[in-house]
């Protein structure tokens, strides 16, 4: 495969010492031979997150917490033509990068990946199925699905909205409105079910209620407080 585009992989972090190393190890292996850079944008972690990133030869930036702002800071320092945003608790299938480059090569401007949870229980399989249907049919992506976009298009959209919550959902809405060439890559990103640690049903209901409230123009800062965003633990 002829590789024409450099890939900038941007990972926002907040206390991710338990998960980041595995992802960076995979990227080092799977992106071998592909022009790329890895940028870790850390939100004042108090654990070994930045140390681990440097050990894996990632570029490290430090900024204030806020995933949208972190992603924008990382992009401002990126040099690639294609931007790929990953969560630190992601685990990649080997074909993710080849299939991403294949999509870009066919003129696709942005999109995301299929998602599965690293938990075999039926409830998580159903949640993943729903997420993949939402992404494929309605072009509505969450950050753990590995959003990617051409740099030029990203800049024309003004980057991620610097909101305390729903920045990924709002960005995907803008992305689809701006460019019809948005698709789901037929490769899987595995993610942690840690966001559901307070209970699967409780978390699902809360997330749906927050989404409805967001579309009804409720202040995102209020929604973030309800969800518990901004706590210096890790991103969920």
Distance set, CA 199 to CA 50, 59, 194, 196 (Å):
30, 36, 10, 5
Distance set, CA 42 to CA 97, 159, 220 (Å):
23, 18, 22
Helix (H, G, I), strand (E, B) or coil at 226: helix
Give the chain's residues under pLDDT 50: 1-2, 230-231
Note the pLDDT tens digit of each residue in 184-194. Answer: 999 999 999 99
Q: Note the CATH number of domain 7-199.
A: 3.90.550.10
Domain extents for the chain?
A: 7-199
Helix (H, G, I), strand (E, B) or coil at 8: strand
Question: In the 3-class helix/strand/coil scheme, how is 23-39 assigned residue by residue?
Answer: HHHHHHHHCCCCCEEEE
User: How far apart are the C-alpha atoms of 28 and 58, rounded to whole Å?
Assistant: 10
Rg of the chain over all Cα atoms, to the nearest angstrom: 17
Note the pLDDT tens digit of each residue in 116-125. Answer: 999 999 999 9
Q: How many CA atoms lie within 13 A of 219 on its CB side?
A: 4
Q: What is the pLDDT of residue 28?
A: 96
């Amino acid at each position: 495969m002829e590789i024409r585009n450099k890939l900038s992989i941007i990972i926002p972090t907040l206390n991710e010492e338990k998960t980041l190393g595995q992802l960076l190890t995979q990227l080092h292996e799977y992106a071998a031979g592909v022009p790329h850079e890895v940028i870790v944008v850390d939100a004042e972690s108090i654990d070994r997150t930045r140390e681990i990133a440097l050990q894996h030869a990632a570029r490290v930036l430090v900024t204030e917490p806020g995933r949208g702002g972190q992603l924008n800071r990382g992009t401002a320092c990126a040099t690639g033509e294609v931007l790929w945003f990953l969560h630190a608790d992601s685990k990649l299938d080997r074909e993710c990068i080849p299939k991403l480059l294949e999509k870009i090569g066919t003129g696709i401007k942005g999109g995301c990946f299929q998602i599965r949870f690293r938990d075999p229980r039926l409830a998580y399989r159903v949640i993943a199925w729903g997420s993949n249907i939402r992404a494929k049919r309605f072009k509505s992506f969450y950050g753990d699905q590995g959003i990617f976009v051409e740099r030029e298009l990203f800049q024309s959209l003004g980057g991620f909205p610097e909101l305390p919550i729903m920045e990924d959902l709002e960005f995907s809405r803008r992305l689809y409105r701006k460019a019809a060439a948005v698709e789901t890559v037929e490769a899987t990103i595995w993610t942690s079910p840690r966001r559901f640690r307070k209970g699967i049903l409780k978390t699902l209901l809360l997330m749906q209620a927050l989404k409805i409230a967001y579309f009804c123009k409720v202040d995102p800062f209020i929604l973030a407080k309800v969800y518990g965003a901004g706590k210096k633990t890790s991103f969920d």
